[in-house]
A and B are shown apart, each in its own frame.
Chain A
Amino acid sequence: MDEAGGRQAEDDRRDHARIGRGAILIFSYLLATGITSGALYALVALGIVIVYKSTEVVNLAHGELFMMGGFLAYTLHVMARVPYIPSLLLAVAGAFLIGIVTDRVAFRPLIREGLVSVLLATIGVSFILKGLARLIWGGKGDYLAFPPLVSPEPIRVGNVMIMSQQLVVLVAAIVVMLAFALFFKTTRAGKFMQATASNPKAATLVGIRVDRVYMYTFGVGAAVAGASAVLMAPLTLLYPDIGFLLFIKGFAAAVLGGLASVPGAIVGGLLVGILEQFAAGFIGTTVQDVSAFVVIMFALIFLPTGILGARGVRKI
């Protein structure tokens, strides 16, 4: 009797331990996936924040710049068989150019017209780009697969299995972020951008050509979007409507971190990525897509300045 009870208790303990280990495994798997996709959202958010910081405008075509970057890389790498790294660089350059064009047609002429005009114009640009992508790379429902960069074998890190692809993407995302930080801190153009962001009038007074800085800002924001698209492409599929999906997630990340804060964009991106994976893992995969919208609405209503954003001053 006693012995049977003891065995029973022993079994229970073992079961619990197994369930516990399983939970930790799932937990760490979700965390790893969340950090990877979060790093990409952080890059998208970074592009949004760069543009917002210096122009106080959100480029609603940002997602489409991302999408174009992905398709450019696809065309170069898959269709023209250019190696991956040159494809990445060329796609980033292409996105940079589209970003500059966006500034020329949808921002610079409207800078004095006010926010509504700029937002409407960037929506116009986003639909033009989306339509062009649909014309060139196939209609709705055509999903293009980007070949993986490394062998699909998972790697074991401690107790967790990580797809090596994810690891590459994560490392690359960190490299892009660091490169961007260096650009901001050390180059002349980066310093001009910082100066313009903190005070456009003073920047004009010391001889910085503010409109040119805005142009490069749009270009650099687009280039970051292009880079994140090329990194993301092997993990996901490419289709013309992917841009808006990523834009919403990037915007959620940017708002969560404080729309004008670069470290905030990174923290926000990781949070959105992790949150999304946990929602998918513990509630259901369909919830994954909606979590970003919920984050945006709650962040805007209850946390309007973001986690790392400055306290807002009401302008009259």
Chain B
Amino acid sequence: MRLLLGNRAFLVVLFAALALVPVVANQYTVYVGNLMMLYIILAVGLNLLVGFAGQLAFANAAMYGIGAYGAALLQVKLGWPYWLAAPSGALMAMAIGTLLAFPALRLSGIYLALATLAFAQATQWVLLHWETVTFGAGGFAVPEPDFRAVGLRASDGIYYVSWIVTVLLVIFAWRVVRSRVGRAMVAMRDREIAAQALGVDLLRYKAMAFALSGFYAGTAGALYSAVLNFVSPEGFDLFQMVLHKSMVVVGGLGSIVGSVLGAALLVYLLDVLRQFKATQEIVFGALLLGFVLFQPHGVVEFFRRHVPGWDEPLHS
């Protein structure tokens, strides 16, 4: 009984259902399911940085964009195949993300938040104005990856690639937070100086947290470029920043399953409201505010309390 209800069962059921989507549903639902998985990756990666390592950074949307542009530009400008370009884009985002750990060593709290926000806006500016490389504000089309070898349509093929990557990254995050690295991050979040006194190397673990979340966001970006077959700066703006943040907060800071849950719920909501930009802003802003005020540990707190077998350790 406990096994049938717990957090593991939830993940298994969710991913089994997601695996069946291309078989039973139409093209549009496949697209939404694919987006759901990308946002699961984004939210889990951001939660590692904000919820576990306690670094309030706002550069996640920028990393997402760097991954997408990296993967897309390597294909369009250099003619690389997707299989090579996508991981390269993710690694690019990871490398740039890691560099953000250096200011994070000197800055904390408000200063880190605003420095990374400024970095994200500067990235947006580069995407808009470095037109010879990025094609400017209009964006550009990306070729569809080829799945004929395995007998799949491009949209279904990329869907299963996303599925495999998402499952692997969720499991990896799950393992990381239970390892020495995860415990060091939580110690660093709770009290930096105490963690340092216990032998936690701050530079190393901050760099790891930034690298991990950069890699997650970059991977999501590289997948996104193939899902949409189009990238433009608008896809990685401030609204994305608030979207990722509200997914993590709604799900629950410091909970991997929470981020999966938060991302899945909010992508559904995003799809319902897709016609109304202003309403989206109000709803997601209100969700962020409402959860911080009334349910600071996210929806996952409810499951922890009321569902037997929900044994995710408390990291929040």
Residues of A that sit less than 8 Å from B by CB: 52, 57-58, 105-106, 109-110, 113, 115-117, 119-121, 123-132, 134-135, 139-140, 244, 248, 251-252, 255, 259, 286, 289-290, 292-294, 296-297, 300-301, 304, 316
B52 at the interface (CB under 8 A from A): no
Residues of B that sit less than 8 Å from A by CB: 50, 54, 56, 103, 106-107, 109-111, 113-115, 117-119, 121-122, 125, 129, 193, 238-239, 242, 245-246, 249, 277-290, 292-293, 296
Tell me the bound Cα distance from A286 to B134 in angstroms.
Answer: 15
Q: Which of B107, B125, B290, B292 has the most CB of A within 10 A?
A: B292
Tell me the bound Cα distance from A115 to B108 in angstroms.
Answer: 11
Establish whether residues B103 and A301, one from each chain, have CB atoms under 8 Å apart when the complex forms.
Answer: yes
Task: Pick the contact of B56: A119, A248, A290, A294 (CB < 8 A).
Answer: A119
Which residues does chain B contribute within 8 Å of A297, judged by CB atoms? Answer: 103, 115, 118-119, 122
Asked, given contacts A296-B115, A304-B111, whether A128 binds B238 with beta carbons under 8 Å apart, the answer is no
Establish whether residues B114 and A131, one from each chain, have CB atoms under 8 Å apart when the complex forms.
Answer: no
Which residues does chain A contribute within 8 Å of B282, judged by CB atoms? Answer: 127-128, 131-132, 135
Contacts A124-B290, A248-B117, A252-B118 aside, 8 further interface pairs with beta carbons under 8 A come to A110-B293, A113-B296, A117-B292, A121-B292, A131-B278, A131-B282, A140-B277, A296-B115
Which residues does chain A contribute within 8 Å of B56, judged by CB atoms? Answer: 115-116, 119
Establish whether residues B129 and A286, one from each chain, have CB atoms under 8 Å apart when the complex forms.
Answer: yes
Establish whether residues B288 and A127, one from each chain, have CB atoms under 8 Å apart when the complex forms.
Answer: yes
Establish whether residues A289 and B110, one from each chain, have CB atoms under 8 Å apart when the complex forms.
Answer: no
Which residues does chain A contribute within 8 Å of B119, judged by CB atoms? Answer: 293, 297
Establish whether residues A123 and B245, one from each chain, have CB atoms under 8 Å apart when the complex forms.
Answer: yes
Establish whether residues A131 and B279, one from each chain, have CB atoms under 8 Å apart when the complex forms.
Answer: yes
Establish whether residues A130 and B109, one from each chain, have CB atoms under 8 Å apart when the complex forms.
Answer: no
Establish whether residues A127 and B111, one from each chain, have CB atoms under 8 Å apart when the complex forms.
Answer: no
Establish whether residues A135 and B292, one from each chain, have CB atoms under 8 Å apart when the complex forms.
Answer: no
Establish whether residues A255 and B125, one from each chain, have CB atoms under 8 Å apart when the complex forms.
Answer: no
Tell me the bound Cα distance from A259 to B107 in angstroms.
Answer: 14
Residue of B nearest to A301 (CB): B103
Establish whether residues B118 and A296, one from each chain, have CB atoms under 8 Å apart when the complex forms.
Answer: yes
State the total of A-B contacts with C-beta under 8 angstroms.
125
Q: Which of A134, A252, A259 has the most CB of B within 10 A?
A: A134
Nearest-Cβ distance from residue B286 to partner chain A, whole angstroms: 6
Tell me the bound Cα distance from A316 to B196 in angstroms.
Answer: 12
Task: Pick the contact of A139: B125, B278, B288 (CB < 8 A).
Answer: B278
Establish whether residues B109 and A300, one from each chain, have CB atoms under 8 Å apart when the complex forms.
Answer: no
Task: Pick the contact of B106: A57, A304, A316 (CB < 8 A).
Answer: A304
Asked, given contacts A128-B286, A293-B118, whether A110 binds B107 with beta carbons under 8 Å apart, the answer is no
Residue of A nearest to B238 (CB): A244
Establish whether residues B121 and A127, one from each chain, have CB atoms under 8 Å apart when the complex forms.
Answer: no
Nearest-Cβ distance from residue B39 to partner chain A, whole angstroms: 17
Residue of B nearest to A121 (CB): B292
13 A-B pairs in the complex with CB atoms less than 8 angstroms apart: A105-B293, A116-B50, A119-B110, A120-B249, A121-B293, A123-B285, A124-B288, A125-B285, A128-B282, A128-B286, A293-B125, A297-B119, A300-B106
Which residues does chain A contribute within 8 Å of B109, judged by CB atoms? Answer: 115
Task: Pick the contact of A58: B110, B129, B281, B287 (CB < 8 A).
Answer: B110
Tell me the bound Cα distance from A231 to B290 in angstroms.
Answer: 34
Nearest-Cβ distance from residue B282 to partner chain A, whole angstroms: 4
Tell me the bound Cα distance from A113 to B297 in angstroms.
Answer: 12
Establish whether residues A300 and B114, one from each chain, have CB atoms under 8 Å apart when the complex forms.
Answer: yes
Asked, given contacts A119-B56, A119-B110, A123-B242, whether A293 binds B121 with beta carbons under 8 Å apart, the answer is yes
Nearest-Cβ distance from residue B117 to partner chain A, whole angstroms: 8
Residue of B nearest to A57 (CB): B110
Which residues does chain A contribute within 8 Å of B103, judged by CB atoms? Answer: 297, 300-301
Establish whether residues B289 and A128, one from each chain, have CB atoms under 8 Å apart when the complex forms.
Answer: yes
Residue of A nearest to B194 (CB): A316
Establish whether residues B114 and A58, one from each chain, have CB atoms under 8 Å apart when the complex forms.
Answer: yes
Establish whether residues A124 and B110, one from each chain, have CB atoms under 8 Å apart when the complex forms.
Answer: no
Residue of A nearest to B191 (CB): A316
Tell me the bound Cα distance from A230 to B234 in angstroms.
Answer: 29
Asked, given contacts A139-B278, A290-B122, whether A127 binds B114 with beta carbons under 8 Å apart, the answer is no
Asked, given contacts A106-B289, A300-B103, whether A139 binds B110 with beta carbons under 8 Å apart, the answer is no
Tell me the bound Cα distance from A294 to B115 in angstroms.
Answer: 10
Asked, given contacts A106-B289, A127-B288, whether A251 binds B279 with beta carbons under 8 Å apart, the answer is no
Nearest-Cβ distance from residue A21 to partner chain B, whole angstroms: 32
Establish whether residues B281 and A127, one from each chain, have CB atoms under 8 Å apart when the complex forms.
Answer: yes
Establish whether residues B110 and A131, one from each chain, have CB atoms under 8 Å apart when the complex forms.
Answer: no
Establish whether residues A296 and B292, one from each chain, have CB atoms under 8 Å apart when the complex forms.
Answer: no
Residue of B nearest to A315 (CB): B193
Tell me the bound Cα distance from A123 to B129 in angstroms.
Answer: 27
Which residues does chain B contribute within 8 Å of A304, judged by CB atoms? Answer: 106-107, 111
Which residues does chain A contribute within 8 Å of B285, judged by CB atoms? Answer: 123-131
Asked, given contacts A117-B292, A124-B286, whether A248 binds B277 with beta carbons under 8 Å apart, the answer is no
Top 5 nearest A-B pairs (CB, nearest first) are A127-B285, A124-B289, A131-B281, A131-B282, A134-B278
Nearest-Cβ distance from residue B121 to partner chain A, whole angstroms: 5
Which residues does chain A contribute within 8 Å of B286, judged by CB atoms? Answer: 124, 128
Nearest-Cβ distance from residue A110 to partner chain B, whole angstroms: 7
Establish whether residues B288 and A134, one from each chain, have CB atoms under 8 Å apart when the complex forms.
Answer: no
Asked, given contacts A58-B110, A297-B118, whether A105 binds B289 with beta carbons under 8 Å apart, the answer is yes
